[in-house]
With several copies, the nearest count.
Chain A
Amino acid sequence: MIRQQQMQVVQQKVIATNIFELTLTGQLVLDMKQPGQFVHLRVSDQMEPLLRRPISISSIDEATLEFTMIYRADGRGTTLLSEKKPGDQVDVLGPLGNGFPDDKIEAGQKALLVGGGIGVPPLYELSKRLVEKGVQPIHVLGFQSEDVVFYEKQFQELGDTHIVTADGSYGSTGFVTNVLEMLDDDFEVYYSCGPTLMLAALEKMYPEKQGYLSFEQRMGCGIGACFACVCDTTEKIDADYVKVCSDGPVFPSGVVRV
């Protein structure tokens, strides 16, 4: 169920240059069912900035009623968000959208998880759930440069983790595709979140594989009412368009025209 709730900041931490990890707590966590879903946050009680910001859920802890997000403080909204301190309230609308299905793969099989920059966070909860299920995840995570790399250790604890930076300042040099070319493709399903160009490259690289891709669009309502976030579709599905917020943000590969 979608709810709107004032949730409390438990922790706010800088984990890389301009990259923040924010943990909130509240009952709404109990409704978070799938990795890859997102929340729509109000960053201010004032009328400016006005709109909510969509941020992916990066890990969920039902026991403590806490969930964590990782985001880059970039524009006005995310900068304000980064100023929230423990005890402050954040107005959360969520959980929204459809995440990564974890029922497409079985214990003992391998899964490929490919993240680009600020698209990495939702893969963390996914990977945890896959591991719990007995699936073996392989992580390929691309970043701009060393100073914005985050969560390497956390992913390593869950499975093989390859870091690649565009400027070569850490891990291998280049794009995630450069790493992927050198890896076996003995995985069952791939999951990815990151820049659209990256998602497009993956679809091209693994035309025969089952894949799940998380897309981004500018949003208004976040719940499917305003038609701000539509994407064109391919012949693969019947609909003329899909909405990232309510039909996605995760779609099977081949559905969204990239």
Chain B
Amino acid sequence: MNRLAIELPGLSLKNPIIPASGCFGFGKEYAQLYDLSQLGAIMIKATTPETRLGNPTPRVAETPAGMLNAIGLQNPGLKKVMENELTWLEQYEVPIIANVAGYTTEDYVTVAEAISKAPNVHALELNISCPNVKQGGITFGTDPFVAEELTRAVKAVSSVPVYMKLSPNVTDIVEIAKAVEAGGADGITMINTLLGMRLDTKTGRPVIANVTGGLSGPAIKPVALRMVYDVAKHVSIPIIGMGGISTIDDVIDFLSAGASAVAVGTANFVDPFICPTLIEQLPQKLDELGFETVADLVGRSHRL
């Protein structure tokens, strides 16, 4: 038996460690460094119906224990992602979670319907929360009604289970979580980035060309953990947790708070080997804590 295995809708994960969308491209770069088949799954970069060139640069800025980004969903578009990226990824024994983005329900439906047919795409992750894109986007993730309708629309066309990726920039994240559950979501991934800003102190100008950006990294971990904990209390679909994970203790904390698996974003930039390292450290940590399997650990904070 594999102690690290986790079963989720559409996903038989050999371990709960998944690189987060946008922080791992389509895997090619990290494949130079290690064998991608080690990973629990891969969340690929957001895919939109057409090619997108994203925002002007600078697109990233460092902040205390965190970073801002405003990449602007740059991606080659649905067709090229399917033809080049997903096909290339087939050489690895790793389920792909396709991150889907768009500005209208039709965008999401178009991408979801097509990409969910790729043989190695085992689940979709709907990025309804990216704070970087000026039109649309933001509303899907902040209005429970809209979020529910979108879930329903995508569920109707997707060939694989659908995970909704929640935005933390809301008054009540539990309300949104319940809405997507009601809309038929198979799971939730959370959190996306917090909206933030950095100024160049000398000039007074925003460092990020897009003015604001999404805050990620260790700085946001307390917010992410609180949201996962709260949502886990109120929904029964599984959660993939993320936000600031960079150590094995962080992984344990998110699992304890109720996530069934975790995604690692910004930490890949600090330590490109972080995902295999966490996978390697996990069994010993389970031993230390006295848990036989990862599944046993999930949600333990709610059972104390």
Contacts and interface: CB of A to CB of B under 8 A. Distances in A.
In-complex A–B contact (CB below 8 Å): yes
Chain A contact-residue range equals 20 to 34
Contacts, number: 103
Interface residues of B, number: 37
Contact of B246 (A47, A51, A218, A246): A47
B270 interface: yes
Contacts of B273: 4
Given A218-B61, A225-B29, A227-B74, A52 B53 contact: no
Contacts of A42: 270-271
A225 B30 contact: yes
Given A4-B33, A240-B53, 8 more contacts: A52-B269, A217-B58, A219-B60, A221-B29, A225-B28, A229-B57, A230-B59, A246-B29
Q: Is the interface of B mostly helix, strand, loop or mixed?
A: loop
B184 interface: no
Contact of B65 (A48, A220, A240): A48
A197 to B, nearest CB: 16
A-B pairs, 5 with minimum CB distance: A225-B25, A225-B29, A218-B58, A228-B60, A47-B65
A127 B64 CA distance: 39
A49 B61 CA distance: 11
Contacts of A219: 60
Interface of A: 1-2, 4, 42, 47-52, 77, 93, 217-231, 240-241, 246
Contacts of A1: 32
B69 A221 contact: no
Contacts of A228: 57-60, 69, 71
A130 B120 CA distance: 48
Nearest to A221: B269
Interface string B14-58: 000000001111001110110000000000010000010110011
Contact of A50 (B22, B29, B58, B65): B65
Q: Which of A93, A221, A223, A226 is most buried by chain B, counting CB atoms within 10 A of its CB?
A: A226
Contact of B269 (A2, A217, A220): A220
Contacts of B45: 227
A159 B221 CA distance: 50
Interface in B188-217: 217
A142 B190 CA distance: 46
A241 B268 CA distance: 23
B77 to A, nearest CB: 11
8 contacts: A47-B218, A50-B63, A50-B266, A218-B60, A220-B69, A223-B30, A226-B60, A227-B45
Given A47-B218, A220-B69, A225-B25, A2 B58 contact: no
